[in-house]
């Protein structure tokens, strides 16, 4: 407890799923947390839960594809809590289709949220983090950013970009004391997994059963990923940067 005392964090996509679990866990460990999302009611619920537990939190409506929204979110964190130390670039969407089944608009929207969002939020946040003498950025990638998957061409491309962008950012901003790492989840039981099932025309339970066919015998829970993000954001990972942490129950161990 208290591993992040005195720190200020922004979590994009923080209103649900992995983002919500992460925001809650960072707050338990002492960080003041800004939940940045476009889901207003869920975002307000997320910060209410944090505050009920004695934590400090604020919600900011933020479309990560908008440069002005990204800047406003980082400025809001500094104004509310006095600075910024941690950015978790977690906002993302999925489209389950081959390139033949993906429209140009779908491709552009997915790339805008999953990749451009990381760029815009990081560009806005890095000067604030550097002003505090350094800190941590954690990007949410995917196991499918490390290997291909069926009927997910745009998603795989976007998460592969996030993995390599993480490495480039680590090189560029390490001298400012900013560590940049990537966590790559496997199948995790979140609203996005349910949306994925709908896209494929399959029952959610079927997706979960398929996802459990891995050495640890289950799909992930949001808290599993949140714990990995916490470690990367904390001083316990003080000599870790440019790394990709695969958190997938062993799904890619033989791949």
Catalytic residue set = 155
**Sheet of strand 57-61, all strands in order from the earlier edge strand to the far edge:** 57-61, 32-37, 8-12, 86-89, 135-140, 178-185, 244-247
Beta strands in the chain (DSSP E): 8-12, 32-37, 57-61, 86-89, 135-140, 178-185, 244-247
Q: Is 17 left (phi over 0), alpha (psi -120 to 50) or beta?
A: left
Beta strands in 100-177 (DSSP E): 135-140
Q: Is 250 left (phi over 0), alpha (psi -120 to 50) or beta?
A: left
Report the alpha-carbon distance of residue 124 to residue 111 in Å, rounded.
19
Of 118, 218, 209, 205, which is closest to residue 168 (Cα–Cα)? 118
Neighbours of 73 (CB within 10 A): 28
CA 155 to chain centre: 14
Report the alpha-carbon distance of residue 127 to residue 233 in Å, rounded.
17
């Amino acid at each position: 407890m208290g591993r992040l005392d005195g720190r200020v964090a922004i979590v994009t996509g923080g209103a649900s799923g992995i983002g919500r679990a992460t925001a809650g866990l960072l707050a338990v460990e002492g960080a003041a947390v800004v939940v940045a999302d476009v889901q207003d009611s869920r975002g307000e619920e997320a910060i209410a839960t944090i505050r009920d537990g004695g934590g400090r939190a604020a919600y900011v409506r933020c479309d990560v594809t908008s440069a002005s929204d990204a800047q406003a979110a980082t400025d809001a964190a500094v104004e509310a809590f006095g600075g910024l130390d941690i950015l978790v670039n977690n906002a993302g969407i999925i489209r389950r289709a081959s390139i033949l089944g993906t429209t140009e608009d779908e491709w552009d929207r997915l790339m805008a949220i999953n990749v451009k969002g990381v760029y815009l939020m990081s560009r806005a946040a890095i000067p604030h983090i550097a002003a505090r003498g350094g800190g941590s950025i954690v990007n949410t990638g995917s196991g499918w950013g490390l290997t291909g998957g069926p009927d997910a061409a745009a998603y795989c491309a976007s998460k592969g970009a996030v993995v390599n962008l993480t490495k480039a950012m680590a090189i560029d901003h390490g001298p400012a004391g900013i560590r940049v790492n990537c966590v790559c989840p496997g199948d995790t039981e979140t609203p996005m997994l349910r949306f994925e099932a709908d896209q494929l025309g399959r029952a959610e339970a079927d997706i979960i059963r398929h996802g459990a066919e891995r050495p640890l015998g289950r799909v992930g829970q949001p808290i599993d990923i949140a714990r990995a993000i916490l470690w990367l954001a904390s001083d316990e990972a003080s000599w870790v940067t440019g790394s990709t942490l695969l958190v997938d129950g062993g799904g890619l161990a033989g791949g």
